[in-house]
Amino acid sequence: MVSKTTSLLLISGMLLIALSCSEFNSSAPDTLPEPFPYTVDETTKDRPLSAALQRSFHQYEGIHPAENELYSQFKYTKVKGLDYRNHDGTISRRDPSKIIFENGKYYVWYTHRETPVIPVGAKRAQESNDTIPSTDWDLAEIWYATSEDGFTWEEQGVAIPRPPEPQVGWRSVSTADILKWKNKYYLYYQGFLEASGKRGDYCPVAVSYADSPDGPWTPVNKAIIDNGPEGSWDQFAIHDPYPLVHDGKIYLYYKSAFNRPGNVWVAGGLATADDPLGPFEKYELNPVLNSGHEVSLFPFREGVAAIMVKDGTEHYTINYASDWKNFEVASVCELVPIAPGPFVQDAFTNTKDGQGITWGLCHFTNAGKNGVNPHSILARFDCDLSQAIHDPVMKRTGVYHDPEVYFRQGLNKKQVARVQAETRAL
């Protein structure tokens, strides 16, 4: 015997099937949607859309880059005031920190290498010694400069020298970034205990603190963010420490490289702490950024935005995470600054409405030639990744480069041979 409930269920099931069949039939050719409209309005986003158009309406802030606060072009200016000894390769400045405004001027910290000879290169790192650097950031110190206008910089000298062996950073200190917390200043940086390139670019993160951005800096003399346990993605290197303040805590993003041998994957992680000297707790779902050779972020609205440079699937994009952990692609950019150190006005204000950025310093690592005068230089970039500024020039797409820029990306000999063989095989 079929119970009353079972027969009711059967009837409603049949009804549902009939209904969904009629829905299926209703998508027959005579009811195809209207063609996509010439003029897009408020209702367009709700019509049936292809996958790419779905993204235009639902993933990005606007259908046009001009309507996307997290899209920008980047403009570049040579900075004044920094001498490179005629660019002979013995002075290098690279990896600028974020910029802060204190005592009526801008401050930046960066890797400063001043060595009697040029670096031998990572592949020949075994030839490095106390005076011969392996890489451009070996045997380096953290220096700083100040500026009244962000274009002309006055070098102030060393902030963090190399401590004596065996303290963390004795071989080299590099790639610093700044935190201001309860009226004290903290510089986080890579502390090398061996010449970079010997086994890889291996180092933990160290920290020094001061009462003034002009120092004097007191080193903590220990790794403040340790490499991960054996077998984990950040077991060998913690690079590019980048602190911000969010939710009353220090949010420190960093980068590591892993998956060797194979295609090396460069990704970003997050470590948080209640105190600048730690303990730092790594987020359990690290890495949180899937791309980007250098780490550069800024509070934006309730979340945080990340400039993704060079490496990885999402290189040359701006990523955004409203919860500071789960990042999505917010825009695709070009000529993105390398190793950007932006001026982030609200980096440490615990803001829930981050204003964004309009400029900063970056570096060019190919200011000289390998084997001749290799070194890096600092440069200024400008952009409109800011809520307050609306600069239509920065929202254009498509940068025209000289044809020579393309032709410099020529085929190598092996590629030419391959191309010729392809033709012969036809």
The tally of CA atoms less than 13 A away on the side-chain side of residue 161 is 5
Strands of the sheet with 281-282, listed across from one edge? 239-246, 249-258, 265-273, 281-282
Is residue 171 a contact residue for ligand AAL (CB under 6 A)? no
Is residue 174 a contact residue for ligand AAL (CB under 6 A)? yes
Is residue 282 a contact residue for ligand AAL (CB under 6 A)? no
The rounded distance, in Å, linking the Cα atoms of 303 and 268 is 17
CB neighbour list of residue 129: distance below 8 Å, 6 or more residues apart:
none
Is residue 294 a contact residue for ligand AAL (CB under 6 A)? yes
- Subset of 333-392 contacting ligand AAL (CB under 6 A): 339
Q: Which of 93, 98, 162, 293 binds ligand AAL (CB under 6 A)?
A: 293
Residue 365 CB, nearest approach to ligand AAL (Å): 7
Residue placing its CB nearer to ligand AAL in the complex, 60 or 236: 236
Q: Which of 141, 240, 346, 382 binds ligand AAL (CB under 6 A)?
A: 240
Nearest to 127 by CA among 197, 191, 66: 197
Using the 8-state DSSP alphabet, how is residue 34 labeled? P
Beta partners for residue 172, in sequence order = 192
Residue placing its CB nearer to ligand AAL in the complex, 97 or 345: 97
Nearest to 106 by CA among 415, 418, 401, 343: 343
Is residue 113 a contact residue for ligand AAL (CB under 6 A)? no
Q: Which of 74, 137, 298, 320 binds ligand AAL (CB under 6 A)?
A: 137
Residue placing its CB nearer to ligand AAL in the complex, 201 or 384: 201
Whether 264 contacts 285, CB under 8 Å:
no
- Subset of 199-228 contacting ligand AAL (CB under 6 A): 201
- Both tokens of residue 47? 């019509």
Is residue 138 a contact residue for ligand AAL (CB under 6 A)? no
Is residue 141 a contact residue for ligand AAL (CB under 6 A)? no
Taking residues 68 to 107 in sequence order and writing x for each that binds ligand AAL by CB under 6 A, - otherwise, the string is ---------------------------x------------
